[in-house]
Structures are given as C-alpha cells and as structure tokens.
Structure 1
Amino acid sequence: MITMTRKLALLAALGLAAGAGIGYAPQTQAAQVAVGVTIGVPPPPPRYVRVPPPRVGYVWAPGYWRWDHRRHRHVWVAGYWVHARPGYRYVPEHWVHRRGGWYFRPGHWVR
C-alpha cells in the first residue's frame, strides 16, 4: 500500500517528466515596452556640442530635446555614454514628424 505522500511525490515526478518531454524553448527576444509622446510643437534645432574623446566599450549618445509637460516647453538633455553592445548599432533619441504632430522616439539598439 502506497502512502498519500508517496502518491503525491510520484504524481509530481510524472508531471515533471511529462513537462520535460514537451520540450522547453526559451524566448530569443526580450519583451519590449514602448511609451510614446506626441505633441504639436516642433523641437528646436539640436545643439551642437563637442563630443568627448572616445571611451573603449561605450557609444556616445548625443543630447536631445525632451518635452517637459509641466512647463509646456522643450528642455535640453545633455549627451551621455551608453555601454556598447557588440553586433548592434545605437539609434539616439529623436523626434519624428507624423500626422500633424511630433512623436518622440527613445534611444534604442538595432542589429
């Protein structure tokens, strides 16, 4: 006679074995979430500043205009260093004109 604990352990082991038989395929891409800002006011021209000397293993992300909804105006965000990703190209933050408004695109990596 098998005790209740042994029955549960046997059932759990069978469930794990069946799950392993199905196979496990990890996702190759992480989920991404995008939040966009669309406004009717175009951003000012970009400020041109001297880029600092290169840093090994980093990519320079230039400054950009960010919309400050509290002040109802653009504010300048200074450039910064981004840790490089081999095999990828960094696309910095920028504004795109679309359907009567301006849409902000956050910085991101592309292959």
Structure 2
Amino acid sequence: MKTIAKTGLILALSASLFTSCAADYYVAERPAEPVYVRPAAPYPGAYWIPGEWAWRGGRYVYINGYYARPRANRVYVQGYWHPVSHGYAWHRGYWR
C-alpha cells in the first residue's frame, strides 16, 4: 500500500511540475522590437537567427539575434506573437 501511495505522490508532483512549465505569459499589447544593427557574419554560410522575446522578471525582455550554423535538412521558423484570450503571447522560434 505504501508503494502505491508513493507512486501516486510522485506522479502528482511530476504532473504539477510539467503543467507549471507549459504556462503562457501574455501582454495586453505587443512590445515594439528595438532597432539595432546586425553585425557582419562571422564565417561564410552563417545563418542569422532573429531576436526574440523571453519572459523574465514578470515581463517580456528582448534578446538580440545571433548567427548560428545552419542545421542540415532543416529550416528556421521565426518566433511570433500570437493572440490569446487576454492579449498576446510570444511563440519562440525553432528549427523545423
């Protein structure tokens, strides 16, 4: 019986951990993207990953873009703001 209780407790804690990670943070209005100069590519074939927004300290902060090596047979999908019930939330960019 103790084993079942321990297993149930572990499952409940795991589920609460994963649900807290999936939360969408939203803003009423999309913030304006700051203007900055893109640096020169550090090596031939470098791919520019555009800047993104990250939730830190109770608000969205802008993180500048950077160069990365392209991934074989993949394309980069740029991040975007998507509407949610209370405003807008940022959907991060990713390699597809």
User: What TM-score do the two structures reach when normalised by structure 1?
Assistant: 0.51
Say if 1:51 and 1:37 are closer, same or farther in 2 by CA, change over 3 A.
same
What percent of counterpart residues are identical? Answer: 25
Partners of 2:70 and 2:33 in 1: CA distance:
24
Partners of 1:76 and 1:109 in 2: CA distance:
20
17, 34, 40: which one aligns with 1:53: 40
Q: How many corresponding residue pairs?
A: 75
Residue 92 (1) aligns with residue 47 (2): no
Bigger relative contact order, structure 1 or 2, given CA contacts below 8 A and separation 6+?
Answer: 2
Find the structure with the greater CA-based Rg: 1
What amino acid maps onto 1:82 in structure 2?
A
* 1:15 aligned partner: none
Partners of 2:24 and 2:84 in 1: CA distance:
12
Residue 67 (1) aligns with residue 59 (2): no
What amino acid maps onto 1:107 in structure 2?
G
Say if 1:35 and 1:91 are closer, same or farther in 2 by CA, change over 3 A.
farther
Provide, for residues 56-93 of structure 1, a one-character-per-residue CA deviation record: whole Å limited to 9, x for no partner. Answer: 2421112223222x3x2222211112220233221233
Q: Which runs of 5+ in 2 are unaligned?
A: 1-20
User: What's the CA shift for 1:108?
Assistant: 0.8
Q: Check conservation: 1:46, 1:65, Cα contact below 8 A.
A: no
Q: Check conservation: 1:38, 1:101, Cα contact below 8 A.
A: no
5, 23, 26: which one aligns with 1:39: 26
User: What TM-score do the two structures reach when normalised by structure 2?
Assistant: 0.57
Q: Which runs of 5+ in 1 are unaligned?
A: 1-33
Say if 1:35 and 1:90 are closer, same or farther in 2 by CA, change over 3 A.
farther
Say if 1:94 and 1:36 are closer, same or farther in 2 by CA, change over 3 A.
farther
